[in-house]
Amino acid sequence: MDFILHVPVIGLLLQFIGYLLSVMATNGSLIITLSTPIALGALCGFMNERSGVVNIGIEGMMLFAAFVGWYVAALVNGGAPSNPGPMGITLPLLVGLLAAIAAGVAVSALHAWLSISVRANQIISGTIINIEALAITGYLNLLISQNPIPSAGNFQSFVVPHAAASVPILGWLLTTFLAHGPITLTMLVLVIVLQVLLFRSRWGLRTRAVGEHPRAAETLGIDVIRLRYRNVLLGGVLAGLGGAWFTLEYIGTFQGGMTGGRGYIALAALIFGRWTPIGAFGAALVFGIADTLGQAVSFNPPTGDLGAVLSGVPEQVFSALPYLVTIIVLAGVVGRSIPPAADGQPYEREAKAT
Q: Report the residue from 10, 13, 135, 196 that binds other proteins according to the rule CB under 8 A.
A: 135
Q: Report the residue from 184, 297, 326, 347 that binds other proteins according to the rule CB under 8 A.
A: 326
Q: Report the residue from 161, 169, 314, 351 that binds other proteins according to the rule CB under 8 A.
A: 314
Q: Does 303 bind other proteins (CB under 8 A)?
A: no
Distance from C-alpha of 128 to C-alpha of 110, rounded to nearest angstrom:
10
Cα 204-209-212 angle, rounded to 5 deg: 125
Least distance from other proteins to the Cβ atom of residue 99, Å: 16
Cβ nearer to other proteins, comparing 156 with 295: 295
**Identity (one letter) of the amino acid at 30?**
L
Q: Does 79 bind other proteins (CB under 8 A)?
A: no
Q: Answer positive or negative: Cα dihedral of 24, 319, 181, 244.
A: negative
Least distance from other proteins to the Cβ atom of residue 172, Å: 32
> Angle at which helices 321-333 and 262-272 pack, to 10 degrees?
30
**Identity (one letter) of the amino acid at 283?**
A
Q: Answer positive or negative: Cα dihedral of 320, 321, 324, 326.
A: negative
Q: Does 7 bind other proteins (CB under 8 A)?
A: no
- Please provide the distance, in angstroms rounded to a whole number, between the alpha carbons at the two ends of the chain: 82
Q: Report the residue from 81, 261, 301, 304 that binds other proteins according to the rule CB under 8 A.
A: 261
Subset of residues 265 to 284 that bind other proteins, contact rule: CB under 8 A: 265, 267-268, 271
Q: Does 332 bind other proteins (CB under 8 A)?
A: yes
Q: Report the residue from 218, 249, 291, 343 that binds other proteins according to the rule CB under 8 A.
A: 343
Cβ nearer to other proteins, comparing 173 with 313: 313
For other proteins (CB under 8 A), the number of binding residues is 58
- The one-character DSSP state at 303 is -
Distance from C-alpha of 249 to C-alpha of 89, rounded to nearest angstrom:
10
Q: Does 118 bind other proteins (CB under 8 A)?
A: yes
What secondary structure does DSSP assign to 174-232, as a single string?
HHHHHSS-HHHHHHHHHHHHHHHHHHHSHHHHHHHHHHH-HHHHHHTT--HHHHHHHHH
Cβ nearer to other proteins, comparing 146 with 354: 146
Cβ nearer to other proteins, comparing 20 with 128: 128
Q: Report the residue from 139, 200, 201, 216 that binds other proteins according to the rule CB under 8 A.
A: 139
Cβ nearer to other proteins, comparing 27 with 326: 326
Q: Does 342 bind other proteins (CB under 8 A)?
A: yes
Q: Report the residue from 25, 124, 159, 193 that binds other proteins according to the rule CB under 8 A.
A: 124
Distance from C-alpha of 271 to C-alpha of 73, rounded to nearest angstrom:
34
Q: Does 331 bind other proteins (CB under 8 A)?
A: yes
Would you tell me how many other CB atoms lie within 10 Å of the CB of residue 156?
15
Q: Which stretch binds other proteins (CB under 8 A): 8-16, 28-36, 164-172, 311-319?
A: 311-319
Least distance from other proteins to the Cβ atom of residue 119, Å: 9
> Angle at which helices 58-77 and 122-146 pack, to 10 degrees?
30
Burial 224-242 (b: 16+ CB within 10 A, else e): bbebbbbbbbbbbbbbbbb
Q: Does 168 bind other proteins (CB under 8 A)?
A: no
Q: Does 193 bind other proteins (CB under 8 A)?
A: no
> Helix (H) and strand (E) counts for the chain?
16, 0
Cβ nearer to other proteins, comparing 21 with 341: 341
Instruction: Spell out the residues 6+ positions from residue 113 whose beta carbon is closer than 8 angstroms to its own.
Output: none
- Which residues bind to other proteins, rule: CB under 8 A? 49, 52, 54, 56, 113-114, 118, 120-125, 127-128, 131-132, 134-136, 138-140, 142-144, 146-147, 260-261, 264-265, 267-268, 271, 314, 316-317, 319-320, 323-324, 326-327, 330-332, 334-335, 337-345
